[in-house]
Amino acid sequence: MQSIMHIKSLVIDGFKSYGKRVELNDFDPEFNAITGLNGTGKSNILDAICFTLGISAMTTIRASTMQDVIYKSGQAGVHTATVTITFDNRDKSRSAPHYTHNDEIVISREVGMGSKNTYRINGLTVPAKKIMDFFNSLQMNVNNPHFIIMQGRITKVLNMKPIEILSMIEEAAGTNMYESKKRSLEMTVGKKDSKLKEMRVVADEEIVPTMETIEKEKQMLEELNMVHGQLRILKEKLDSWNYVQLMKKVNKFTEELKKLNGVKQNKEEMIEQSKIKLKAMEEKIKKDEELLKTNGGNKLNVLKVKLEEKEKEKDNVQLQVNACNTNINIEVKKIKDLEKQINNSKKGYEAKKKEMEDFNEMNAGVEEENKKNTNDLDEIDKKIRSLNSGNIFGDEDNGSVQENINKYNLELQNQQTENQQCIIKIDGLKKKLNEHLTGVKEAQKTYNIQMAQLTAKEKEYEKVKDEYIRASEALNQHHNLKSSRDNLLREVRNLSSKTESFESNNPGLFFRYNDPRPNFDRRKVHGLICRLFTPIDFRFELALTTLAGGKLYFIVVEDDTVGKDILESNKFPNRVNFIPLSKIKSDSLDPRIISRAQQIGGADNVFPAMSLIKYDKKHLKAIQWVFGQAFICTTKGIAEKVCFDNRVNKHCFTLEGDHFNPSGSLTGGANTQRLILQSIAKQDEISLELQAKKAEYEKVDSSLQAIHNLSEKVALLKDRQISVQEELDKIRSDVHLGQPHQQVTEFNKINQLIAELEAKLAEGKANEKNLQKKIKDLENKMKNAENILKKQLSDAEKARKNILEKIKKNKTEYDKKKNNYNKLELEIKDLTSQMQEEENQLVELNVEKKQLEEKLLTLMSELKIADDKCKEASKEYEAQREIAMQNSDAIHNHKCMYKRLTEEMSTNEVNLAELSSEITKMNNGSLAAKEKFKDIDKRLPDEQKQMALKMDFINFKPEECNRSVNELQTRYDQLAKVVDPGKLNNFHKHIQEYKRLQKKLETIVKDKIKINEIIEELEVKKRLHLQHASNRVNKEFGKIFSSVLPGAQACLKQTNKEDITAGLEIRVAFNGLWKESLEELSGGQRSLVALSLVLAMLLFNPVPLYILDEVDAALDLSHTQNIGKMLKQHFKQSQFIVVSLKDGMFSNANVLFRTKFVDGSSAVTRTTCNQT
């Protein structure tokens, strides 16, 4: 009998406790047992099988992640877990679809450290779904495994209620098919009901009302025609009245425009007279001012000269300060250039050192060549000595000429004998070739077919090999990218180090805190004020930092709640001030104040503080709160004027840090915080560069990851190459070991031997002639020995001369390069001295720079003194100027007159503008009236226009006419929207549609009745099938239980005799006495009951494989033995794999596998038993 589909062998490698490859071969088609001590890996074999069947619930195989199934979670050098199962598939009647042509099916699953799964069927990689489909076709769903019976499932059955036991029977019987059909039909009935309701709604709400509507529309159409006629008559009369009225309106506009243009001309003449008077008054005021300047301006001029001298002195000091700054910058540049030169000198020094090392390597090569030339010279001298002794061969060990002649004669005899033997062998092989010629032709045809197959497979192998090579070359890019990534990582670390150094040196510029609560939104904390803005020019830095003061270190937050939460959850060593954006009130300077301030000091010397900084718009309120109400001025004098001006009255700050307060106080400048904003700006640049480098690093790292993914493709191609190689080797083996190949090979071998012998014979003949020639030449040499000896001596002397020239040439080149070497040593020495001198210069430059910086401090003090003197002179000048202005009453009176004339002229100009506007408006009205008249004149026919001029409109009321037209038009529009003459033609069509709808309603009602009848029929079939399944399971349940517990009976009893769907309960009897409850049984007996029921349901719809894991744990030895016998007796059509610790179970197995622990890894041995 052919065995059903079953596990034939199992290979475990790196899975759980199986750190080394373990093979379990020759599984029995029926009963296999696995035993061993606890912890030796017996249950891991079952886990390995479930793993290969495609398990997705990791808890079933006692693991939390895929990495847990790898031996020691990959920590012991094993990085993949692989399990391979070979199924015997010779029984085609129970084979999986699409695999009936395979006698064996090999399924494997592999998982690596990255939790990547790989499934294979017969060596081909397949998706996980194909594995699921394969086992589902055999009714083996590993993710809902009824064929795997664990000890916990037995306990679960014991606690089942009657309705749950019934569900197990339904699942085994497959009655879900009836339920599925029933649900489908019920859904159809629901759809029919919906359609029925929908059609009734259409009939009641659409068709009947539509027919009623058409009847009404007939009446409305007649009304529409009547309204249209009345509307046309009224519109014609209204158009005639409009024509007459527009003609009158155009004439009226013409007369009004003529009057207004006359008034406009008068106003223009008055304005011209005012301009003449103003010009005369301006000349008078100018003369008075010149007179005042002549009489009272001398002292003012003296003070002005004094002010200019003080400003000149200040400018001279400022120039010295600027020159000193320039010199400092020059010194800084010199220092940088010198540092760069020092670096270049160091590079040159390293290059010269490298040249010296290269010379030493070259020198070693020259010495080797000199040694060779010396040896060649010794050889030539040796040859010359030999020739001088009379040996014409030039070799002291070569013997005499006669001895050579005798030697060649002996070789000639041997060659002639060997040639004769070749001729004899060739004749024998040709005779044998004629004997094989008959059967070789047929063998050649077969061999050619086999070779064609071999060639095709070789091409396939080359194709796969090329793909593998191309993929491997792509993978080689990994090394270049890795180098780039390492360089980027070094740059990131360098920039990070600079950032960390800045943070450690400036802790006050960073606000660090702990989140007040989980998931706290840190975007609500914007940071310190000093980190939220940047000066547009760092020459304003001291002024801005003086303005901000301690507010620079205030922290900006979204609202006061954020600040409160941070304060409550953190303990800060110093006081912390928060600026909540939601609470603070800020405002910018009034544009009029800015204009006044820049008018006083000049736009190039007075700046609103807000205009000198860059910031994010979202921080506007906080920045305005700090900088919004202050000015930055270039000098103290300007700052003082702006600050104390009555129309400005704002805080002012100078570039040197002076603060002018409108209350009257003055604070001197300070430069303690001079470089803080520059430092922050530089650090921000470093941070941006760091972010860019990090992004580039992540990009390169991502590319590396992509190439890493390519390595998987390379691995697959490598596997494919190996697979094709194996197929190619098999075909080669079949070809080379086959009879046709042997025949053809034998035939070809004989031909090859003949060819080799013929070639050898030809070579022997040639050698024979060569030996004869040598003998003849030696005999001639003996005759001409003296001439030959002279020639060879001459050649040797020439060779000796050439070698001596080589030795001389090498010595010359060596001496030349030796001079270069000495020169190089001097250059290195000079570079060393130069570097020392440059280091000394660098020290001197740093000293000079320090002296210039000290000089700059002195000049800054002198600049402050000069600035103070300049301010004092400016005050005296302004005071005298004010006195001069107080003596100009006459000028004041003239100016008042000038002002009155100006106002009078302005009033006339305003009146003129109003007249112009009115005239423009009148012109526009006239044009509009003319356009309307032109339009109506064009639109109305001549007859109607003539009639309109003759008509009497005394009693005509246009408002009432317009109202009537609007009412009629509204009614006409309403009727036009409602009435559709086309619908009247569709009246009969709607009646036919209504009749068809009635007929469809009747059909749907009939279909619904028929479907309900089918549902009732399905329910009956389901109950019958369920009753049949219950009876079969009940029968097998009784048999199995009686076999495992002799003298006992068991059955399934309906809780309701009339209705099986109410549920089933388990009843047990001993010696004919039925127990009231399972609670009366011992624990072992109850386990036997549950196990018997589970096995009975397995018999109802068997699958090829069953797995039992220590289901006998709660049983005593005799019961365990009975279960083993029962499995052999009742389950002939399925393969069982049972894990047990009890001899009573595995003694009944046909094959027993024992697990043990060896060197930290599980191992398995196989024992055959109970074979019949």
Task: Determine contact, residues 1094/1044, Cβ cutoff 8 Å.
Answer: no
| Digit-coded pLDDT (tens) for 295-352 | 555 666 777 777 778 777 877 877 787 777 778 778 777 777 877 887 887 777 777 7
3 is a domain residue: yes
* pLDDT for the residue 593: 93
Residue 614 inside a domain? The answer is: no
The CA radius of gyration of the chain, in Å to the nearest whole number, is 58
Q: Is the pLDDT of residue 269 over 50?
A: yes
Cα distance between the two ends of the chain: 14
Instruction: Give the H/E segment covering residue 111.
Output: strand 104-112
More confident of the two residues 358 and 556: 556
Residue with more model confidence, 82 or 490: 82
The pLDDT, as a whole number, for residue 598 is 92
**pLDDT given for residue 172 in this prediction:** 66
Mean pLDDT within 523-537: 91
pLDDT given for residue 828 in this prediction: 78
Q: What is the mean pLDDT of residues 505-525?
A: 86
Q: Is 3 helix (H, G, I), strand (E, B) or coil?
A: coil
CA distance 759 to 21: 56
Q: Residue range 659-681: average pLDDT?
A: 70
Q: Where are the alpha helices (DSSP H) in 142-207?
A: 151-158, 162-173, 176-202
What pLDDT, in 10s, does the model give residues 893-904?
666 677 777 877
CA distance 51 to 18: 14
Overall number of domains in the chain: 1
For residue 22, the model assigns a pLDDT of 93
Among the residue ranges 662-671, 980-989, 1018-1027, the one predicted with the least confidence is 980-989
Task: Yes or no: say if 1141 and 1166 are a contact pair by the CB < 8 Å rule.
Answer: no
Q: What is the pLDDT of residue 1170?
A: 62
Least confident of 119-123, 141-145, 510-514: 141-145
Q: Closest Cα partner for 626 from 640, 641, 613?
A: 613
Count CA within 13 A, CB hemisphere, residue 154. Answer: 22
Residues with Cβ within 8 Å of residue 1103, at least 6 apart in sequence:
138, 139, 140, 146, 147, 1134
| Residue 715, in any domain of the structure | no
Domain span at 1127: 1-145+1105-1172
pLDDT band at 670 (very low <50, low <70, confident <90, very high): very low
Mean pLDDT of all residues belonging to the chain:
79
pLDDT score of 671 more than 60: no
Beta strands in 849-936 (DSSP E): none
**How many angstroms separate the Cα of 992 from the Cα of each of 70, 204, 208, 209, 1156?**
77, 15, 12, 15, 88
For 949-972, the pLDDT digits (tens) are: 777 777 777 788 888 878 888 887
User: What confidence category does residue 623 fall into, taking pLDDT thresholds of 50, 70 and 90?
Assistant: very high
Span 526-531, average pLDDT: 90
Amino acid at 357: E
972, part of any domain? no
pLDDT of residue 888: 56
9: confidence class by pLDDT, cuts 50, 70, 90? very high
Q: What is the pLDDT of residue 80?
A: 92
Confidence of residue 876 (pLDDT cuts 50, 70, 90): confident
The answer to whether residue 85 is domain-embedded is yes
Tell how far CA 17 is from the center of its chain.
38
Give me the pLDDT at residue 610, please: 93
- Tell me how far apart the alpha carbons of residues 709 and 116 are, in angstroms, rounded to a whole number: 11
Q: Which two tokens stand for residue 634?
A: 């270039």
Q: Tokens in use for 292?
A: 């005042």
Task: For residues 684-699, give the mean pLDDT.
Answer: 86
Instruction: Judge whether 1143 lies within some domain.
Output: yes
Reply yes or no on whether the pLDDT at 108 is more than 90. Answer: yes
Is 979 contained in some domain?
no
pLDDT tens readout for residues 142-172: 776 777 877 667 777 777 888 887 777 776 6
Average pLDDT (588-601) is: 91
| Reported confidence tier of residue 554, pLDDT bands at 50, 70, 90 | very high
Report the pLDDT value the prediction gives residue 256, as an integer from 0 to 100. Answer: 80
Please check the confidence at residue 1109 and state whether its pLDDT lies above 50. Answer: yes
| Beta strands, E only, 616-703 | 630-633, 651-654, 659-660, 666-667
Q: 1169: pLDDT confidence band, cut at 50, 70 and 90?
A: confident
Helix axes 401-505, 739-783, angle to 10 degrees: 120
Q: 103 to each of 97, 100, 139, 511, 727, how far by Cα in Å?
A: 13, 8, 20, 74, 18
* Most confident of the following: 421-430, 433-442, 464-473, 1160-1169: 1160-1169
In this model, does residue 1068 exceed pLDDT 50? Answer: yes
Written as six digits, the tokens of 435 are 């004997």
- Asked if residue 594 has pLDDT above 60, the reply is yes
| CATH code for the domain in which residue 88 is found | 3.40.50.300
Is 398 a residue whose pLDDT tops 70? no
What was the pLDDT predicted at 119?
A: 93
- 1106 strand-pairing partners: 1136
Distance between CA 1171 and CA 1165 in Å, rounded?
A: 17
DSSP state, residue 508? G
92 in any annotated domain: yes
Give me the mean pLDDT over the 279-295 stretch.
70
Q: What mean pLDDT do residues 663-690 have?
A: 73
Average pLDDT (735-753) is 75
Can you tell me whether residue 585 is helix, strand or coil?
coil
Least confident interval from 63-72, 149-158, 855-864, 1074-1083? 149-158
Residue 611 pLDDT: 92
pLDDT in tens, 18-72: 988 999 999 988 889 999 888 888 889 989 998 898 887 777 788 888 888 898 8
- pTM beyond 0.85: no
The mean per-residue pLDDT over the stretch 1002-1013 comes to: 78
The distance from CA 10 to its chain's CA centroid, rounded to whole angstroms, is: 41
